[in-house]
Amino acid sequence: MSTTTVEKARMEVNRRGFLDIDIDPELDLFHEIERLKKEKNAVLLAHYYQEPDIQDVADYIGDSLGLAQQAAKTQADIIVFAGVHFMAETAKILNPNKKVLLPDLKAGCSLADSAPAPLFKQFKAKYPDHIVISYINCSAEIKALSDIICTSSNAEKIIESVPPEQPIIFAPDKNLGAYLSKKTGRDMVLWNGACMVHEIFSLEKITKLKIRHPQAKFIAHPECEDAVLQIADYIGSTTQLLKYAVNNEAQEFIVATETGILHQMQKDAPHKTFIPAPPNNSCACNDCPHMKLNTLEKLYLCMEYETPEITMPEELRLAALKPMQRMMEISKAAGLIG
Ligand code: 13P
Ligand code: SF4
């Protein structure tokens, strides 16, 4: 590849979000990615919502809490994050001296985007006595305005760690917030954000599907709307859903979360049947369009040329680190992470 082609492509990264360079179609990308991992002492972390090929080549696949924990303890020089922007940003917050790469910088998150920092700052100012617990699906700027971060795996424990008389703002997911309010009995002030993927499930179609599959367990992620959660047999983070599906004696599961998780469920329990919960129209809207911006080709290119890279001002990083550290401490004390 000529230096000019690569330089031109690098310059385009900011506009396009990824390196756009032709790859020899004969190249074995799995082999190349393994080679680059070794040569560069790079670790590849992937979320369950990534496409199957990316999950299969990753060193670690997990939910947001597991991925943050892996990012916090890795000895690698480079963290390649196959996930969305806020996840790679979180890895950078925890690892200022490591290079953090994201295959496509435009892999965002509708939930994180639903909380712009200037608006959230005004909102927070209306509740001076409240502390802010923010779901990890938010920007570094929102993290910096928060007291504690949580994920769907530890949110209940995080809320329970706050004294009952202390009022709480929960941001940015109103569905997760409402679910947690019900579970913990805490009356929290909720920011009005939501995930476009988890809000798309059709209650009517799920109900019909349950009738057609009477033995199936219906399992759902807590980012889903209340009406969907009300009919769920089990509610949990992606890792918790996976564990439940593998360990439960049922043979059929209707799964209300992003479809990427089905790959791992099917791998871990090959004889069971996993049915994606249907969205409220015929689109594939339960595929997260942001997560799916990452491809094996973009992953290979970002590892080969070490771009796009996540960077952030040190002042912002330090402000965002504090509530992340609080989350890690509470999670450790609760035995949720080692
Ligand atoms: P978890 O990884 O905590 O299950 O959250 C799912 C999600 O929406 C990530 O974007
Ligand atoms: Fe964001 Fe929803 Fe996609 Fe997760 S699934 S990255 S919360 S838009």
| pLDDT tens-digit readout, 51-110 | 999 999 999 999 998 999 999 999 999 999 999 999 999 999 999 999 999 999 999 999
Domain co-membership, 80 together with 161: no
User: pTM of the prediction?
Assistant: 0.95
pLDDT score for 131:
98
Domain co-membership, 179 together with 244: no
Reported confidence tier of residue 281, pLDDT bands at 50, 70, 90: confident
Residue whose CA lies nearest to ligand 1 atom number 10? 137
Domain co-membership, 98 together with 9: yes
Reported confidence tier of residue 298, pLDDT bands at 50, 70, 90: very high
Reported confidence tier of residue 1, pLDDT bands at 50, 70, 90: low
CATH of the domain at 236: 3.40.50.10800
Q: How far apart are the first and last CA of the chain?
A: 44
Structural domain harbouring 325: 111-194+318-333
Whether 151 lines ligand 1, by a CB cut-off of 6 Å, is yes
Q: What is the mean pLDDT of the chain?
A: 95
| Under 8 Å between Cβ of 238 and 48 | yes
Domain co-membership, 28 together with 100: yes
Residue 90 lies in a domain: yes
Q: Total domain count for the chain?
A: 3
Burial class (CB in 10 A: 0-12, 13-18, 19+), 49: buried
Whether 84 lines ligand 2, by a CB cut-off of 6 Å, is yes
More confidently predicted of 122 and 15: 122
The side-by-side arrangement of strands in the sheet containing 189-190 is 148-150, 131-135, 168-171, 189-190
| 273-279 long-range contacts, CB within 8 A, separation 24+ | 273/216, 274/245, 275/209, 275/213, 275/216, 277/201, 277/205, 277/206, 277/209, 277/218, 277/220, 277/228, 278/201, 278/202, 278/205, 278/206, 278/209, 279/200, 279/201, 279/202
Q: For residue 313, is pLDDT > 70?
A: yes
The two structure tokens encoding residue 37: 């991992």
Residue 283 lies in a domain: no
Domain co-membership, 257 together with 295: no
Tell me how far the alpha carbon of residue 39 lies from the centroid of ligand 2, in angstroms.
32
Domain co-membership, 186 together with 234: no
147 closest CA partner among 177, 164, 163, 168? 168
Q: Where is 264: in which H helix or E strand?
A: helix 261-268
Whether 195 lines ligand 2, by a CB cut-off of 6 Å, is yes
For a mutational test of ligand 1's pocket, the pick from 134, 237, 287, i.e. the residue with the most ligand atoms closer than 8 A to its C-beta, is 237
pLDDT in tens, 116-135: 999 999 999 999 999 999 99
Residue 247 lies in a domain: yes
Whether 140 lines ligand 2, by a CB cut-off of 6 Å, is no
Q: For residue 44, is pLDDT > 80?
A: yes
Domain co-membership, 175 together with 226: no
Tell me how far the alpha carbon of residue 27 lies from the centroid of ligand 1, in angstroms.
32
Q: In Å, how far are 201, 235, 252, 313 from 320, measured between CA atoms?
A: 33, 29, 41, 11
Atom of ligand 2 nearest to the CA of 258: 5
Q: For residue 9, is pLDDT > 90?
A: no
Which is it for the CA torsion 205, 256, 276, 260, positive or negative?
A: positive
Domain co-membership, 74 together with 53: yes
Domain co-membership, 178 together with 325: yes
Q: For residue 282, is pLDDT > 80?
A: no
Average pLDDT over every residue of 16-29: 91
Domain co-membership, 90 together with 122: no
Average pLDDT over every residue of 13-25: 88
pLDDT > 70 in the chain, percent: 99
**Minimum-distance ligand to the CA of 286?**
2
Residue 322 lies in a domain: yes
For a mutational test of ligand 1's pocket, the pick from 50, 137, 243, i.e. the residue with the most ligand atoms closer than 8 A to its C-beta, is 137
